[in-house]
Structure formats: C-alpha cells, structure tokens
Amino acid sequence: MRNLAIVLVVLFVIGLGAFAFATGGTPKREPAAWLTERLIAHRGVWTDGPEAPEDSLAAFETAASAGYAVELDVHLSADGVPVVIHDDDVERMTGEPGSVSSMTVAELQELRLLGGSETIPTLEQALALVDGRVPVFVEIKNEGEVGALEDAVAAQLSAYAGDACVMSFNPFTLARVAEAAPEIPRGQLASAFEGEDLAWYEKLLLRNLLMNWTSKPDFISYDLAELPSFGTALQSLRGRPLLGWTADTQPERIAAEGLCDAVICNPGALP
C-alpha cells in the first residue's frame, strides 16, 4: 500500500507539472496596457445594410472616430495579400460565390459588400485608415497550413506605427507570429468549441488552453457564454488579461465587464 501511495503521489506531481507547463508559456514582458483600455468594436461599428458592413473601411472609421479599438478578420488572397473579411468565402457578404483564397485582391475588390459601395479591404488599407488612432486587434483566420498568412500579417504589423496585436483560435498560428515578429502581442482565442469539426482531444486541449506552451499568448480572448471558467481564472492568476467575446447588448456588456478585463462588442452593446 505504501508503494502504491508513492506511485500515486509521483503521478500526481508529474500530471500537475505537465498541466502547469501546458497552460504556461507566458511571454517575458508585461501585457501592454492598451489591450484593455477601451471597448473593442467587433468587425468595426457596422450596420446591417450597405452603408457600413462588417469588416469594411466605413465600419472601421466609425469605430475609430468614436474611440473604440477595432477588431478585424484576415484571410490570404490567391496572390498572397492579407484581406479583411470574416468568412472564408465571399457569398454571405457579396452575394457572389467563391472562396477568398481562390481570388486575387483585384478580383476581391471588384465585389461590393451587401450591394453598396464598400469593397473588401486589404489589411494594409485598414491599418492606413486607422492610422494609430486606436488599437487594432487582427484575428488571423487560418485552419490550413501555417506560414504565408502569418508571415504577411507579421510583416505589416511590424511596420505599423500604431498599437496592434494578433489573435487566433489556432495556437500554431500564434507560434508562427511569435517566430516572425516576437514583439507583436498575441492573443489566444478559445471557447467550448461545441459543434466544431474537431476531435474530442482537440476540443479538450483548446478549450482548456493546454496549447499555451506553444502559442505563448500575452492575453486570452474567451467566449462570454463560457465564463467564468477555471481555465481562464488560472490564466488571470498567471497575469494574462482576459478579453470576452462577443457582447450583443448593453446589459451583456455590463455583465461582461464584471468578468473580463476588456469586452469585444457588436454595435448593439456599445454605449
């Protein structure tokens, strides 16, 4: 019995050490204060109509003019340019079929968002418009091979004079950015991943932030519907700010402010 107890203690200590390693990876720097100083406009301050569609320059201008940080999504065009759009295809926002990755920038910018005058911007255009007025949170949308998109985003943000960071659900995306441009703050996005096409162990690792050892995030951005949680509480103890996504109404935002260091908001949740 004594030998069994010793084995169990040893296994517990090993397991605890492995958990601490997996959820660690904290960068050797203090999180930037600007990460949590403002409300964050999810895809800009957009309208349901063509005047200022989500992830458009008009939506970003409205957000920046109001003093809100800007969150935006990027994919890679067929000719290797980061472009700002949430979906991996263009049909929902333009009414035309086609995947973002199969179209060049010129082809993408011939399309009109929600039938209006706004087009799909490049990341370069979005950064030029914001021009350092407010922080920019760039979500890298990459479920495929890591490399080209991450490197292109890292290069543009490294050359940008304003405050900007990257976020991704993919920990290997963040690890690639850390290699290419370690000075850019990184945020690990996570949720319960219910309904996602992932293996059970992938969901287990991602929702419990057990891939932080490779992504080494400066902050965590977690689904508000899953908060509070043990995993995010542990990350807060490690000194990582917690961002919550996405508040849809002002009551939701106010409640989220009691749980998080900053809140990512759809237009209806903004003051």
**Which residue of the set 38, 86, 112, 203 is catalytic?**
86
Residues with Cβ within 8 Å of 6's Cβ and at least 6 positions away in sequence, in order, are none
Cβ atoms of 187 and 137 within 8 Å: the answer is yes
Catalytic residue among 31, 41, 42, 71: 42
Q: Omega into 246 within 30° of 0, i.e. cis?
A: yes
Structure tokens at 35: 């990460």
**Intra-chain end-to-end CA distance of the chain, in Å:** 63
Q: Establish whether 75 is a catalytic residue.
A: no
Distance from C-alpha of 253 to C-alpha of 231, rounded to nearest angstrom: 21
Q: Which residues contact 109 (CB under 8 A, 6 or more apart)?
A: 119, 120
Q: Which of 142, 184, 229, 200 is nearest to 27 (CA)?
A: 184
β-pair type (82-84, 40-42) = unpaired
Within 13 Å of residue 138, how many CA atoms lie on the same side as its CB? 34
Residues annotated as catalytic (active site), given as ranges: 42, 86
